[in-house]
Structure 1
Amino acid sequence: MAPQTAPARQNLPPETSTLIGRERDLSDLLRLLGSNRMVTLCGVSGIGKTRMALRVAAQATASYPDGVWFAELADVATRQEVVARIAQAVGVSEESGRDLAETLVDALRARKLLLVLDGCDAVIGEVAAVGRALLDACPSVSLLLSSEDPSRVGGETIWRVPPLTLPQGGDEHSLDASEAVRLFAERSHGPGATVTPDQRATIADLCHQLDGVPLCLELVAAWARHHSLEEIADELAGHLPEPTTHGHSADRSKILDAVLEWSHSLLGKAERALLRRLAVFTTWDVELAERVCSDEELPEADILDAASGLVDRSLVTLTGEHQGRVRYRLPHAIHRFATARLTEAGEVEATRTRHREQMLRLSDEMGRVAVLGRPMPWSQRYDVWRRVAAEYDNVRRALHWSAERHDAEEGLRMCAGLHPFWVSERHTGEGVQWSDLFLGMDEATMPMRARVLARRAKMAWLRNDFRLAREAGEEALRLCRAADDGESVLLTLNLLALSDMRDGDNQSASVRLTEALKIARDGGDLWYESMSLGLQGALASRQDDYPGADMLYNTALLILRGMDHRWGVGLILIGNAIVAEEQRDLDVADRCYREALDIQRDIGVVPELARCLAGVGRIAHAQGATAQGYDYLSESLLLSQNTGQRTGVARALESIAQLAASDGFTEGAVRLSGAATGIRDGACLPRYPSPRPPREHTSVPSSGSQAAWWSQGYALGVDEAVAMALRIAEAGRVPRPRPSRPPTPDPPKDVLTRREHEIARHIGEGGSNREIATALFITQATVARHVANINRKTGFTSRKQIAAWINRDRADREEASGIP
Structure 2
Amino acid sequence: MELIAELWHWVVEGVIWLRDHPEVTWSGAGLTALAVLSFLITKLFSFFSRKDTTPPVGNTFTHSGSGTQNVAQGNHPIAQQVNITTEQVSSPQQKAKGDHNVFSQTGDVHYEEHHHYARTAQGIPLQRPRQAEHLVGREDLLRDVLAALGPGKVVTLCGPGGIGKTALASRVAWELPPEQEAPALFPDGLLFYSFYGRKDVGLAFDHLVRSYADDGQDNSPEAATRLLANKQALIILDGAEEADDLPDVLRCCGGCGVLITSRKRSDAPGELLEVKRLDKLPAEEAFRLYSGTTADETTARAVCKGLGGWPLALRIAGQYLRNTGESAAEYLRWLEKRPFRKLGSGKHQEDNAALLLRRSMEQVSDDAVQVLRLAGVLAFAPISLEPVMAVLSEEGDDEDELELRSREALNELVLFGLLERREERWQISHALVHTYARNEEALSRDALERLARYYIWFCREQSEAGLEGYARLDGERVHCLQLIERCVDGGLWEEVKWLEDAINIYLDRQGHWTEKLAALEMNLTAARKAGDRRDEAWCLNSLGYTCWRRGENDKSIVWFEQVRPIDRELGDRKGEGVTLNNMAAIYRQQGRYEQALETYQQSLRIRQEIGDRRGEGESLNNIATVYYNQEDYEQALSSYEQCLPITREVGDAIGEGTTLNNIAEIYRTQSNYAKAIEYREQDLAICRELGDRAGEAVTCWNIGRTYEEMGDLAEAEEYITLAVEIAEQIDHPKLEEWRDGLAWVRAKRQGV
Contact 1:70 1:89 (C-alpha < 8 Å) held by counterparts: no
Task: Answer yes or no: is 1:69 the counterpart of 2:191.
Answer: yes
Q: Find the partner of 1:122 among 225, 228, 242.
A: 242
Deviation of residue 306 (structure 1)?
A: 0.7
> Matches of residues 345-744 of structure 1 in structure 2 within 5 Å?
347=443, 349-365=445-461, 369=464, 380-401=465-486, 411=496, 413-428=498-513, 430-432=515-517, 435=520, 442=528, 443=530, 445=532, 447-449=534-536, 451-452=538-539, 455=542, 458-459=545-546, 462-463=549-550, 479=572, 481=574, 499-500=622-623, 502-503=625-626, 504=628, 505=636, 508=639, 532=655, 535=658, 539=662, 542=665, 544=676, 545-557=679-691, 575-582=695-702, 583=704, 589=723, 614-618=733-737, 744=750
Q: Matched residues in 2 for 1:151 and 1:535: separation?
A: 57
Question: Which letter maps to 1:615?
Answer: K
What residue in structure 1 maps to residue 230 of structure 2? 110
What residue in structure 2 maps to residue 44 of structure 1? 160
SS in 1 for 2:264: coil
Q: Matched residues in 1 for 2:273 and 2:187: separation?
A: 25
Task: Answer yes or no: is 1:156 the counterpart of 2:270.
Answer: yes
Q: Matched residues in 1 for 2:513 and 2:209: separation?
A: 14
Q: Find the partner of 2:362 among 258, 265, 288.
A: 265
Q: Matched residues in 2 for 1:415 and 1:512: separation?
A: 36
The change in CA–CA distance for 1:290 and 1:446 in structure 2 (over 3 A counts) is same
SS in 1 for 2:327: helix
Identify the structure with the greater helix proportion.
1
Q: Matched residues in 2 for 1:537 and 1:200: separation?
A: 89
Task: Answer yes or no: is 1:304 the counterpart of 2:438.
Answer: no
Contact 2:131 2:170 (C-alpha < 8 Å) held by counterparts: no
The gaps in structure 2 that reach 5 residues or longer are 1-109, 177-182, 583-611, 629-635, 667-675, 705-716
What residue in structure 2 maps to residue 627 of structure 1? none
SS in 2 for 1:239: helix
Q: Matched residues in 2 for 1:330 and 1:534: separation?
A: 58
Deviation of residue 348 (structure 1)?
A: 6.0
What residue in structure 2 maps to residue 276 of structure 1? 373
Q: Matched residues in 1 for 2:319 and 2:396: separation?
A: 26
Encode CA deviations 1:292-313: one digit per residue, 9 max, x unaligned.
4556899955333211211232
Contact 2:189 2:234 (C-alpha < 8 Å) held by counterparts: yes
SS in 2 for 1:328: strand
What residue in structure 2 maps to residue 334 of structure 1? 433
Deviation of residue 70 (structure 1)?
A: 1.1
Encode CA deviations 1:158-202: one digit per residue, 9 max, x unaligned.
2222345543xxxxxxxxxx4762x5555566xxxxx9x778997
Q: Find the partner of 1:313 among 416, 423, 428.
A: 416
Q: Matched residues in 1 for 2:422 and 2:211: separation?
A: 16
Q: Matched residues in 1 for 2:365 and 2:224: separation?
A: 47
What residue in structure 1 maps to residue 671 of structure 2? none
Task: Answer yes or no: is 1:2 the counterpart of 2:115.
Answer: no
Q: Matched residues in 1 for 2:657 and 2:576: separation?
A: 27
Encode CA deviations 1:578-631: one digit per residue, 9 max, x unaligned.
44554475666567657766xxxxxxxxxxxxxx6x53554577789xxxxxxx
Q: Find the partner of 1:30 among 126, 146, 149.
A: 146
Deviation of residue 466 (structure 1)?
A: 7.5
Q: Matched residues in 2 for 1:3 and 1:590: separation?
A: 32
Q: Matched residues in 2 for 1:118 and 1:281: separation?
A: 19
Q: Find the partner of 2:385 among 286, 289, 293.
A: 286
Q: Matched residues in 2 for 1:402 and 1:513: separation?
A: 48
Contact 2:637 2:663 (C-alpha < 8 Å) held by counterparts: no
The change in CA–CA distance for 1:309 and 1:95 in structure 2 (over 3 A counts) is closer
Q: Matched residues in 1 for 2:553 and 2:351: separation?
A: 57
The change in CA–CA distance for 1:223 and 1:128 in structure 2 (over 3 A counts) is same
Q: Matched residues in 2 for 1:491 and 1:225: separation?
A: 71
SS in 2 for 1:71: strand
Deviation of residue 338 (structure 1)?
A: 0.9
SS in 2 for 1:553: helix
Q: Which has the larger radius of gyration?
A: 1
What residue in structure 1 maps to residue 310 of structure 2? 213
Encode CA deviations 1:39-67: one digit per residue, 9 max, x unaligned.
22222222221121122234454322333
Question: Which letter maps to 2:478?
Answer: D
Question: Which letter maps to 2:259?
Answer: L
Contact 1:366 1:417 (C-alpha < 8 Å) held by counterparts: no
The change in CA–CA distance for 1:38 and 1:294 in structure 2 (over 3 A counts) is farther
TM-score w.r.t. structure 2 length?
Answer: 0.60
Contact 1:115 1:143 (C-alpha < 8 Å) held by counterparts: yes
Contact 1:316 1:330 (C-alpha < 8 Å) held by counterparts: yes
The change in CA–CA distance for 1:15 and 1:398 in structure 2 (over 3 A counts) is closer
Encode CA deviations 1:23-43: one digit per residue, 9 max, x unaligned.
322211012223873222222
Q: Matched residues in 2 for 1:226 and 1:162: separation?
A: 28
Alpha-carbon RMSD across the aligned residues, in angstroms, is 5.0
The change in CA–CA distance for 1:501 and 1:616 in structure 2 (over 3 A counts) is farther
Q: Matched residues in 2 for 1:408 and 1:363: separation?
A: 18
TM-score w.r.t. structure 1 length?
Answer: 0.55
The change in CA–CA distance for 1:405 and 1:334 in structure 2 (over 3 A counts) is closer
Question: Which letter maps to 2:333?
Answer: A
SS in 1 for 2:184: helix
SS in 2 for 1:146: strand
What residue in structure 2 maps to residue 133 of structure 1? 251
Question: Which letter maps to 2:246?
Answer: A
Deviation of residue 449 (structure 1)?
A: 4.7
Q: Matched residues in 1 for 2:195 and 2:310: separation?
A: 23
What residue in structure 2 maps to residue 55 of structure 1? 171
Deviation of residue 255 (structure 1)?
A: 5.4
Deviation of residue 553 (structure 1)?
A: 3.2
Contact 2:129 2:170 (C-alpha < 8 Å) held by counterparts: no
Encode CA deviations 1:305-344: one digit per residue, 9 max, x unaligned.
21121123221123455xxxx353452111011112224x
SS in 2 for 1:28: helix
Task: Answer yes or no: is 1:235 the counterpart of 2:235.
Answer: no
Deviation of residue 422 (structure 1)?
A: 3.2
> Matches of residues 768-783 of structure 1 in structure 2 within 5 Å?
none
* Stretch deviating more after TM superposition (105-114 or 440-449): 440-449
Question: Which letter maps to 1:420?
Answer: I
Percent of pairs with identical residues: 16
Question: Which letter maps to 2:365?
Answer: G
Contact 1:73 1:85 (C-alpha < 8 Å) held by counterparts: no
Encode CA deviations 1:94-138: one digit per residue, 9 max, x unaligned.
667xx8223323333333333211123333xx233323533xxx5
The change in CA–CA distance for 1:465 and 1:402 in structure 2 (over 3 A counts) is same
SS in 1 for 2:466: helix
Contact 2:317 2:356 (C-alpha < 8 Å) held by counterparts: yes
Contact 1:128 1:151 (C-alpha < 8 Å) held by counterparts: no
SS in 2 for 1:117: strand
Q: Matched residues in 2 for 1:427 and 1:541: separation?
A: 37
Deviation of residue 140 (structure 1)?
A: 0.9
Q: Matched residues in 2 for 1:311 and 1:490: separation?
A: 62
Encode CA deviations 1:378-417: one digit per residue, 9 max, x unaligned.
xx33333233322211222244346657877665555554
Contact 1:530 1:555 (C-alpha < 8 Å) held by counterparts: no
Task: Answer yes or no: is 1:143 the counterpart of 2:258.
Answer: yes
